[in-house]
Amino acid sequence: MKFLALLALVSAAVATPALFPFGDNAQEPMMGDVLPTSYPGFDLDLNAPRLVQLEGQEEPITMTELEKIQAKAQGIRFFDVTDAVDLGSRAQLRASVKPSYPTPNNTKTVKPVIDALEIQNLHDTLDKFTSFRTRYYRSETGKESQRWLLSKITDLTKKYAPEPLQKSISIHEFGHSWQQSSIIVSINGTSTDDDSVVVIGAHLDSTNNWPFLPAPGADDDGSGSTSILEAYRALVAAGFQPERTVEFHWYSAEEGGLLGSQAIAKSYESRGINVAAMSQYDMTAWVKRGTREEVGIITDYTDVDLTEFNKKLVEQYLSIPWVETKCGYACSDHASWRKAGYPSVFTIEATFENSNHQFIHTQNDKYDISDEFSFEHMLEFSKLAVAFAIELGGWKKST
Ligand SMILES: *[C@@H]1O[C@H](CO)[C@@H](O)[C@H](O)[C@H]1NC(C)=O
Ligand SMILES: *[C@@H]1O[C@H](CO)[C@@H](O)[C@H](O)[C@H]1NC(C)=O
């Protein structure tokens, strides 16, 4: 649906009391239909004021939730800074202690873990993860989907991680002021003199352009969430005991203006946690018909050195090449870490232009909508996450 048409619908919806003309299997709304302004289990007030930071604006501005939704539908990206106005107040200090990254050379440890990644796991996880009506962060099904992911991570850890390793793994929910939590999994590092932390992230929420409508979110960002989960499974199954602490994050409310990742980055900043590298995975499945399969390396608003490091990992460990691309201001959760002064990077399924624009944020963001949705492609990103974790986390195998 064209954004202008959507905006007209939204205006109509807000002018009209709540109606529920759409079943879950309805087609995309048509002009003249009235959009629902509430839905059972939702806790979203379209008139609530929010503080929003737009690109190039010195100060955040106040807008309503509805205006945020309209801005997003027009392709405008932003931080909703309502609960994190002071994020980045220590960023200047961080810039002076920039970490450097090695040349990847742990092929002997990385390769066997990559070889143990399984496509079937990607399929099974995503099948369940996309079965919730929506993973919208202010909805009951959004909460249920997050709870399911939490139990999935817990089960995988119990099933695959050797006993001694389990003792250094912690899995917890990071709660927010809205229903859905973020999830943080930490594999404690063995080093006693290196306190730096390596973070691999994705966002677990989904949205429809009009949030009350269904949003299976297969590509955005079920794919990234699933790619990094399979990387985690293979790592712990191999007994990965890093020297530095390696964490996997699944953020809530990316679609609300990077809310979950800002809250977490703010917490890490205030506790002085030394994040040496953060890598975001947002949309890892789409290979547009007629294009070459490649890894999109985002070069704007990302750390230059860590981006170069990521390119080397692609060259060394993946079956497909990288391509440089840009996605603009505040385009995913790595931006929250950057704002706090931490080095962060972002890889995506293709060049931004060739990524999935057709189906994301609609009820058709499903894995079986087109053969352009590729689990093989998702697996390449699992490989990248495995390599990132081992090459930066360090792993002295005792064998
Ligand atoms: C990789 O290179 C580092 C130095 O950059 C060296 O300390 C380490 O032993 C090397 N590891 C392997 C597996 O060759
Ligand atoms: C990980 O390390 C931190 C800091 O040393 C400690 O507080 C925490 O209990 C450890 N967690 C696990 C699961 O070992």
pLDDT value at 91 more than 80? yes
pLDDT value at 11 more than 80? no
Mean pLDDT over 260-282 rounds to 97
pLDDT at 96: 76
Q: From 100, 101, 103, 105, give the residue whose CB has the most ligand 1 atoms within 8 Å, as the site to mutate.
A: 105
Is 371 labeled as catalytic in the residue annotation? Answer: no
Is 361 labeled as catalytic in the residue annotation? Answer: yes
pLDDT at 71: 96
Mean pLDDT over 83-95 rounds to 89
pLDDT band at 25 (very low <50, low <70, confident <90, very high): very low
| Helices 375-393 and 224-237, packing angle to 10 deg | 50
Instruction: Indicate the average pLDDT of the chain.
Output: 93
| Beta carbon of 190 within 6 Å of any ligand 2 atom | no
pLDDT band at 192 (very low <50, low <70, confident <90, very high): very high
| Beta carbon of 168 within 6 Å of any ligand 2 atom | yes
Among the listed residues 318, 310, 327, 331, the one whose alpha carbon sits nearest the alpha carbon of residue 378: 318
pLDDT value at 294 more than 90? yes
pLDDT band at 3 (very low <50, low <70, confident <90, very high): very low
pLDDT at 23: 38
323-352 confidence digits (pLDDT tens): 999 999 999 999 999 999 999 999 999 999
CB atoms within 10 A of CB 223: 32
Q: Which of 361, 372, 377, 380 is catalytic?
A: 361
pLDDT at 330: 97
pLDDT at 357: 96
Is 220 labeled as catalytic in the residue annotation? Answer: yes
In DSSP terms, which residues pair with 134 in a beta bridge? 215
pLDDT band at 373 (very low <50, low <70, confident <90, very high): very high
Cα–Cα distances (Å) from 375 to 202, 278, 287, 370, in that order, read: 17, 24, 10, 12
pLDDT at 1: 41
Amino acid at 169: I
198-224 confidence digits (pLDDT tens): 999 999 999 999 999 999 999 999 999
Mean pLDDT over 162-170 rounds to 97
28-71 confidence digits (pLDDT tens): 555 556 899 999 999 999 999 999 999 999 999 999 999 999 99
Q: Is the dihedral of CA 306, 311, 315, 319 positive or negative?
A: positive
Mean pLDDT over 297-318 rounds to 98
Mean pLDDT over 223-238 rounds to 98
Contact 309, 334 (CB under 8 A): no
Nearest CA, atom 13, ligand 2: 168
Ligand whose nearest atom lies closest to the CA of 197 = 2
Q: From 154, 170, 245, give the residue whose CB has the most ligand 2 atoms within 8 Å, as the site to mutate.
A: 170
Domains of the chain: 3-80 (no CATH), 91-393 (3.40.630.10)
Give me the numbers of helices (H) and strands (E) for the chain, helices first please.
12, 11
